[in-house]
Amino acid sequence: MKDLFRYFKSLIKRRDIPSSQDVTPDLPDTSGCIYFFWDSRTGDFNVILKVDEDTEMSAEILGMLMCYIGEGHVTQFLAESLQQWCDSPNKMEFYTNTLKAWNAMRELQEEERRHQEEERRHEEEKPLIDPSAVFRFKGNGNGN
């Protein structure tokens, strides 16, 4: 939650962010594009990749981008792009709701990770062999 507040604070300080019309990419000079599509009614999404240059360097950069996306390092770029799209007050509500949903998902994933770690530790703490199997403890009710 602290990260979210720090991020909002940093956005308030920045006033030189261009509008969404100023950041239209020059697509003919790109080596490829990654498109994300989603349907808010169904929750379905799709990723479409368009590669215009199939060189070794292009493959290395795409591999790096895939790694960055998987590790979450592209999130800041997506958030900044979204913020640039939100150039009016009614769109800022969408921006805020998106960041809240993102933060909630991060917290859920972190909780799941902690739960899995706890289960793993619990499994590691179990003895490999039950002591009663080794020492043949058998209770006969006589204290022996």
Burial class (CB within 10 angstroms; exposed 0-12, middle 13-18, buried 19+) of 40: exposed
* 50, part of any domain: yes
* 144, part of any domain: no
* 140, part of any domain: no
* 137, part of any domain: no
CA distances from 51 to 13, 24, 29, 105, 115 (A): 37, 19, 12, 30, 40
* 91, part of any domain: yes
**Per-residue pLDDT tens for 42-96?**
989 999 998 989 999 999 999 999 999 999 899 888 888 898 888 877 888 898 8
* Contact (Cβ atoms closer than 8 angstroms) between residue 77 and residue 85: no
Q: How many domains does the chain have?
A: 1
Residue type, 115: H
* 25, part of any domain: yes
Half-sphere exposure of 46 (CA within 13 A, CB side): 5
> What's the pLDDT at 2?
55
* 105, part of any domain: yes
User: Structural domain of residue 49, as residue ranges?
Assistant: 2-125
**Per-residue pLDDT tens for 20-51?**
344 445 556 789 989 889 999 998 999 999 89
* 107, part of any domain: yes
